[in-house]
Structure 1
């Protein structure tokens, strides 16, 4: 149980770093006038690259020793493509359809994506043996 809590804590720290990368890139791209779906895709991809590197080397390092790294990368990319699609849908729905502020829409889309991403990373991508 302690190991699981440590993993969740590490994932949270990495998530904050990923969110900071995502938000910073998104803000810059939105400021220069890039359409929000393109900005979302680019910024999310930057966060994903950071996530794979940090989670694979720190959060889930016990699970990443040995095994098929290519298969893990493919599972990671599939997970993040799904989360990207869902977060973009949430972002567009909240901002364009419901008229929420871009900042609030981005925050909610990010939070919902984080939950799904943890579950997939923990139980499918990096598969930690208990």
Structure 2
């Protein structure tokens, strides 16, 4: 159980780093005049790339040493696309359909996305060496 808590803690730290990369890149791109949708796609992609690198090298290091790197990358990209689509649907449902504030909707959506991403990363993307 302790190993799982350490892994979850590391995943959380990586999540904060990814969010920071995303936010900084978005702000820089917006400041130089990149259209918002393009800035969002680029900044989100930078956060996803950071997530793959840090989670593979640190959070799930033992599993990252084994298996086909290309297969892990494909599983990682599928995971992030699915979480992105689900998160967008959850955010819209909470805010538009249930009338929650945007901040509350985004906060709950982010937490739910983190749980989904962690489960998929632990049990599917980087699954091989995890006991």
Structure 1 and Structure 2 fold alike (TM over 0.5): yes
* The one of 27, 33, 36 aligned to 1:34: 36
The aligned counterpart of 2:111 is 111
CA RMSD of aligned residues (A): 2.7
How many correspondences in the alignment? 128
Listed as ranges, the matches of 1:1-130 within 5 Å are 1-24=1-24, 34=36, 41-127=41-127, 128-130=129-131
Distance between the aligned counterparts of 2:72 and 2:28, measured in 1? 31
Question: Do 1:40 and 1:88's aligned partners in 2 also have CA atoms closer than 8 Å?
Answer: no
Question: Do 1:91 and 1:105's aligned partners in 2 also have CA atoms closer than 8 Å?
Answer: yes
Provide TM-score, normalisation by structure 1.
0.79
C-alpha displacement at 1:82, in angstroms? 0.4
Higher mean alpha-carbon deviation, 97-106 vs 10-19, is at: 97-106
C-alpha displacement at 1:30, in angstroms? 8.6
Structure 1's unaligned 5+ residue stretches are none
Distance between the aligned counterparts of 2:105 and 2:39, measured in 1? 14
